[in-house]
Amino acid sequence: MTPTEPGLILRPARAADVAAMAAVQLAARAAAPMPPGIHGPDEVRAYLTARLGDSETWVAEDGERVVGYARFTRTWLDDLYVDPAHQGQGVGAALLDLVKARHPDGFSLWVFEQNLPARAFYAARGLLEREHTDGSENEERAPDLRMEWPAGSVGGST
């Protein structure tokens, strides 16, 4: 476990966390300026359960409650979601710093073009916009962009 902000603990996710992680993802997506999710709660839970074995997944707990999570591989940050009631409190920055520390050789992520708050969050923490697409290859068919934490970057959040 990793202590971060007072009361916030980062720890590896367990199968028992999947329902809470799915709830965080669904709430965060609904509150963000991005296309609506196309998968319902059951599908999100099944997907996250399947990914626990092939991705590294960490949760952020405030007390006994999961308030955010990050799921990533050696080269991709696939998910970083924070419960809307806990956004702006350092949860996302703590999770991103964890991913940076575990993968200092760099990684990429996809973010929807219209999600300006997420783009600003990542840019303020050193990620660079590298590729824009028309969205024809994502499920939502919405323009997105690849951001990158370049290999050899130093430092945590700003």
- Domain that includes residue 61, residue range: 2-149
Residues 6 or more apart whose CB falls under 8 angstroms from that of 89 comprise 5
Distance, in Å, from the CA atom of 12 to the CA atom of 100, rounded to the nearest integer, reads 15
Q: What angle do CA 63, 118, 42 make, to 5 degrees?
A: 60
The answer as to whether 157 is a domain residue is no
The answer as to whether 154 is a domain residue is no
The answer as to whether 94 is a domain residue is yes
The answer as to whether 26 is a domain residue is yes
The answer as to whether 41 is a domain residue is yes
Both tokens assigned to 44: 């999100």
Both tokens assigned to 71: 């799921």
Structural domain count, the chain: 1
Residue 117: strand, helix, or coil: helix
Kindly give the confidence (pLDDT) of every residue in the chain, 158 residues in length, as a single tens digit, with 9 standing for 90 and above. 454 556 899 999 999 999 999 999 999 999 999 998 889 999 999 999 999 988 999 999 998 899 999 999 999 999 999 999 999 999 999 999 999 999 999 999 999 999 999 999 999 999 999 999 998 998 999 999 999 999 766 554 44
Run of H or E including 2: strand 2-3
- Does this model's pTM top 0.75? My answer is yes
CATH of the domain at 118: 3.40.630.30
